[in-house]
Every structure is written in C-alpha cells, then in structure tokens.
C-alpha cells in the first residue's frame, strides 16, 4: 500500500475509530467500578490479587515456609479464576541487626530469590510492581485478620473450623481522619484497606478457599490475609510442597558469592562435588548422588535460642568437639560454620578446635554486606552449608531446616543431612526426622 492510499484510508475511518474508542473507555471504566477498586491504566480485568503478611516477629526462614503454604493455596484458587500472589516485601526483621548498611525494609524478593523460577509454579508479582501499576492508592477491598480460637481444642478434640468474630486483640489497622483505613503495609503509605474482618481460624490453608472465593465476588479483587502463619500446610511434605520449595532458587548473585567463597577457601565447586542442578527445577530428578565439598558444615544458632531453647543448644566447647569428631571420621580438615553468634563466640569456638582443623566463616567485605544485606549474607551461608560433605544443624531451627531441604534437593544421602548438635547434658539426643523429598 502506498503512502497516499494509506492516508486516505485513515481519514475515512477516523470517526469510526473515535466512536469505538469512546465506547471502549466507557466500558472499561464501568468494569473497573464493578471491580470496586481504583482502576488505573493497564489493569487486567477479572484478575484477582492476594496479598499476605505474617506476625511481625517471625524470622526469614519461617516466612519462606509460609510462602509455600500460600503458593499452594493460590494454585488452588487459580482453578476458580485468575489469581496472582503478591509477594510481601522483606523487612524489617528482628534478626537483621546490622546498623551500618542502611535500612533493610521494602526489599523485593528478587534480592534473594530467582523470581522467574517462582513463577514456574504459580503467578507471582512483587508488591512494588503492583504499586507502580497504580497511580494513586492501592485499595485492598477486604482484609482477613486471622486469629487463633481462644478455645482451640474444644472437648479435647481438634477440628478444622473458622468463624467471623470480634477481634481478640486490636488488629494493627486504624481509621484515619478522612475515613480511610490504614496500617503498616510494609512501610508503604499509598496502601489502604476498605474492610477488615477478624476471623478465628483453625485448620489447613484450603479451608480459606470458600471465604476468599465468596469475598472476591462480593467486595472486589484485591484481598489480603494477615497472620498468614496461622493456617497449616495443606499437604506438608507432599508433592506440591516440594514443587514450591524447589522453585525457590536463590538469586544469581547469592549463588555466585557462595561459589566464589567455596572455590577460594574450601576448594569446592559443583562439578567436583556433584551438586549441579538443571537450570529449571522442573527438570530435577530424584537421584541421590551428591558428594559435597571437602568440608563439614555446622549451623550454630545462638542469640535468642540461648534463652528460649537453652536445653537444646550445645556449649561452644561441645560444638567444637562434635565438629572435630565428625571431620575426623570423614577424614576432613576444613570446618565451615554458619552462625548468628558474635565475633567473640566464634573466636571462642575456634580456640576449642585443635590446630589440625581449620575453621571457616563467611565474613564478606562492607561493600558486599551493604549490597546483599543481612538476609543475603545468611543465604550465602546456607548455600555453602547445603554443599558440604556433612551437615549438623541446630535443633528446631528453620534456618537449619532450609539447609536440610536444599541438601535433599541436591541429592545428598540422608545421614549426611539430618543431624543436629545436642546439648551438653544430653549427648545422645534424638536426631531430626528424615524429611525426604517427594517428586
Ligand atoms: N548470617 C547468619 N544469620 C543467621 C544464622 N542463623 C540465624 N541467623 C539469623 O537469624 C534469623 C533466625 O530466624 P529464622 O530465619 O526464623 O530461623 P530460626 O529462628 O532459626 O528458626 C535468620 O533469618 C538470620 O537472619 C546463621 O547461621 N548465619
Ligand atoms: Mg525464628
């Protein structure tokens, strides 16, 4: 078609074009109002967004576990419509204590995880991306603030149940002078909520299904669950649990830093340690063939565990003896320790090791710490431990659990993974259950 001809055609169809555009805009706006939320450009009609949050006291690794529960749940919701799981930003967290590396809040998941990999299980979206789609306020149409039943075990019997009730404790949402409901919302000012309901809840997460489906129809398509740690896993340790867990690959940068450290200090790399995985978690196999690097790893949880779980935590002297004995049995001389302990504690630990054994800690430069923050440092340590010949964890630490899962995914024999430090007065304590992956 020549230029002249094309200009002519456009001139003829312009009124028709304007007319269609007018009605399209009217129609879109009507739909947006019907969806009863602020309707900005680019919104996919009929799409539902699920936001969630947890009790602020929960640490990073329990939060990862709750993500698994919610991701499996959203996968179920998707059988009923177009649902997207909105990832709650990270921070501030009680264990992220470094004061010299700036604020540690509003951190996107992509800082820690490969979000493309997460996406291969269920549709996810960073909260910051949803917010940048909104010119004005993000209005959450309905927020369910979950709470435990005051009388959970009625007549000594546990049963699944939920009930819309008065709030037992005042939820952290308040009405402002202009009538809007506001809350912490990860430090974002432009998020508001229309309605907050307290729901006493006891049961598996799929028990939330009817509540969410019903409310998304009535009140709109942005829904939030707070205290998301209250519902239980639908199928703890089942196929979907492991699918989501396997999809939680770390960010490229964190793998890179861990590889660099392993190579430089531990002479360890995935190829010789037989710890390579396919680039897509969906191509993994159930093979148990990992060997691990020539080092033992111990996770020594200190800080709050020294008080809360003192009867399950070893003294540094006992921990050193256990690490040394394990290294000796495996004919290894390198010991890597991941810990939230202080510098002094680590020096003490080192002083208890005989000179034959070398202690390694991950102590990145200020520039790296400022870049990957406390959360990134912790993950690098987890990656290093997950590739050791042998791992010893801390009792009931979710930090240790995540390392054990990673080792299952990598295909380590169970006896090299499911081990824990005992307390001083109980040297033959029960070892952790073998938490086998199911594919
Ligand atoms: N860098 C580092 N941080 C740790 C270590 N152990 C615990 N932490 C920090 O302390 C937090 C502990 O909370 P959480 O993740 O809930 O694990 P849990 O309390 O051990 O079950 C972690 O998220 C880390 O921030 C460790 O070995 N290394
Ligand atoms: Mg914790």
The order of strands in the sheet holding 124-126 is 124-126, 82-87, 47-52, 222-226, 142-147, 196-202, 161-164
Nearest protein Cα to ligand 1, atom 25: 95
Cβ(397) to ligand 1 under 6 A? yes
The terminus-to-terminus CA distance of the chain in angstroms comes to 57
CA dist., res. 306 & res. 312, Å (int): 9
User: Does the pLDDT value for residue 17 go beyond 70?
Assistant: no
Structure tokens at 71: 């991701």
H/E stretch holding 406 reads: helix 398-410
What is the radius of gyration, based on Cα positions, of the chain?
Answer: 26
User: Does the pLDDT value for residue 30 go beyond 50?
Assistant: no
Higher-pLDDT residue of 409, 15: 409
Counting every residue written for the chain, the total comes to 439
Ligand in nearest proximity to the CA of 361: 1
Cβ(339) to ligand 1 under 6 A? yes
Mean pLDDT is highest, among 7-21, 152-166, 219-233, 409-423, for: 409-423
Q: 286, 437 in Cβ contact below 8 A?
A: yes
Ligand 1 atom nearest to 394, measured from its CA: 20
Q: 160, 207 in Cβ contact below 8 A?
A: yes
Kindly tell me the sign of the dihedral angle through the C-alpha atoms of 173, 175, 176, 178. positive
Q: How many other CB atoms are there within 10 angstroms of residue 411's CB atom?
A: 18
Are the folds of 47-226 and 251-416 the same? yes
From the candidates 58, 381, 406, 408, give the one annotated as an active-site residue.
58
32 — pLDDT class (breaks 50, 70, 90) = very low
The CATH number assigned to the domain with range 47-226 reads 3.40.50.11340
User: Does the pLDDT value for residue 340 go beyond 50?
Assistant: yes
pLDDT attached to residue 45 = 56
Helices H, strands E: what count in the chain?
Answer: 13, 15
Ligand 1 midpoint to CA 296 (Å) = 19
Nearest protein Cα to ligand 1, atom 10: 95
58 is catalytic: yes
Instruction: Give the CA angle between residues 425, 427, 431 to the nearest 5°.
Output: 125
Instruction: Give the CA angle between residues 322, 324, 327 to the nearest 5°.
Output: 110
> How would CATH label the architecture of 251-416?
3-Layer(aba) Sandwich (3.40)
Per residue in 288-337, pLDDT (tens digit) is 999 999 999 999 999 999 998 988 999 999 999 999 999 999 999 999 99
Q: 52, 140 in Cβ contact below 8 A?
A: no
Nearest protein Cα to ligand 1, atom 2: 378
Give Cα 295 to chain centroid, integer Å.
Answer: 28
Q: How many other CB atoms are there within 10 angstroms of residue 298's CB atom?
A: 29
Q: How many other CB atoms are there within 10 angstroms of residue 19's CB atom?
A: 10
Distances (CA, A) of 387 to 47, 99, 188, 231, 267: 41, 30, 38, 32, 12
**Domain boundaries along the sequence of the chain:** 47-226, 251-416
User: Does the pLDDT value for residue 134 go beyond 70?
Assistant: yes
Per residue in 344-367, pLDDT (tens digit) is 999 999 999 999 999 999 999 999
Q: CB-based contacts of 22: which residues, under 8 Å, 6+ apart? A: none
Per residue in 143-179, pLDDT (tens digit) is 999 999 987 677 778 899 999 999 999 999 999 887 8
Structure tokens at 110: 């992509």
Structure tokens at 350: 């080192």
Ligand 2 midpoint to CA 389 (Å) = 26
Ligand 1 midpoint to CA 378 (Å) = 7
Structure tokens at 243: 């699918």
pLDDT attached to residue 10 = 35
pLDDT attached to residue 152 = 67
Nearest protein Cα to ligand 1, atom 11: 95
Structure tokens at 279: 């680039």
Ligand 1 midpoint to CA 95 (Å) = 7
Per residue in 177-200, pLDDT (tens digit) is 878 899 999 999 999 999 999 999
Cβ(91) to ligand 1 under 6 A? no
pLDDT attached to residue 220 = 72
Q: DSSP string of 162-185? A: EEE---SS--SEEE-TTS-EEE-G
Ligand 2 midpoint to CA 42 (Å) = 39
CA dist., res. 188 & res. 190, Å (int): 6
For 251, what's the count of Cα atoms within 13 Å in the CB-facing half-sphere? 17
- Please list the helix, strand and coil fractions of the chain in percent, rounded to the nearest 5, in that order: 40, 20, 40
Ligand 1 atom nearest to 58, measured from its CA: 16
Please state whether beta strands 138-140 and 358-360 pair in parallel, antiparallel, or not at all (unpaired): unpaired
């Amino acid at each position: 078609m020549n230029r002249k001809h094309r200009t002519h055609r456009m001139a003829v169809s312009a009124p028709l074009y304007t007319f269609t555009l007018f009605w399209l805009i009217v129609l879109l706006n009507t739909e947006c109002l019907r969806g009863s939320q602020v309707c900005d450009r680019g919104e996919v009609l009929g799409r539902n967004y699920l936001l969630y949050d947890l009790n602020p006291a929960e640490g990073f690794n329990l939060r990862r576990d709750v993500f698994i529960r919610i991701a499996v749940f959203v996968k179920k919701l998707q059988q009923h419509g177009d649902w997207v799981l909105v990832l709650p930003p990270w921070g501030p967290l009680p264990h992220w204590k470094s004061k010299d590396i700036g604020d540690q809040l509003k951190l996107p998941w992509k800082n820690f995880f490969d979000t493309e990999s997460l996406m291969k299980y269920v549709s996810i979206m960073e909260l910051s991306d949803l917010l940048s789609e909104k010119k004005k306020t993000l209005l959450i149409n309905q927020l369910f603030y979950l709470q435990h039943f005051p009388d959970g075990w009625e007549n000594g019997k546990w049963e699944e149940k939920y009930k819309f009730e008065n709030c037992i404790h005042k939820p952290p949402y308040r009405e402002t002078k202009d009538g809007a409901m506001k809350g912490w919302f990860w430090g974002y000012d432009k998020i508001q909520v229309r309605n907050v309901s307290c729901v006493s809840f006891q049961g598996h997460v799929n028990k939330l299904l009817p509540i969410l489906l019903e409310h998304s129809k009535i009140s709109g398509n942005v829904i939030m669950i707070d205290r998301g740690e209250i519902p239980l896993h639908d199928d703890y340790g089942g196929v979907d649990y492991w699918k989501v867990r396997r999809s939680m690959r770390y960010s490229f940068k964190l793998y890179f830093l861990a590889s660099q450290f392993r190579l430089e200090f531990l002479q360890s790399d995935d190829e010789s340690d037989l710890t390579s995985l396919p680039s897509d978690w969906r191509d993994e196999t159930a093979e148990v063939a990992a060997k691990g690097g020539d080092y033992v790893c111990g996770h020594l949880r200190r800080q709050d565990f020294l008080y809360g779980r003192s009867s399950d935590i070893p003294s540094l002297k006992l921990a050193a003896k256990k690490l040394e004995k394990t290294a000796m049995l495996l004919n290894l001389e390198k010991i890597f320790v991941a810990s939230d302990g202080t510098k002094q504690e680590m020096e003490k630990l080192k002083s208890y090791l005989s000179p034959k054994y070398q202690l390694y800690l991950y102590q990145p430069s200020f520039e790296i710490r400022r870049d990957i923050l406390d959360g990134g440092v912790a993950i690098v340590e987890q990656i290093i431990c997950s590739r050791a010949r042998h791992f010893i964890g801390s009792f009931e630490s979710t930090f240790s659990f995540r390392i054990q899962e990673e080792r299952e995914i990598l295909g380590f024999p169970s006896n090299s993974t499911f081990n824990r430090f005992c307390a001083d007065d109980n040297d033959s304590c029960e070892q952790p259950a073998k938490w086998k992956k199911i594919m």
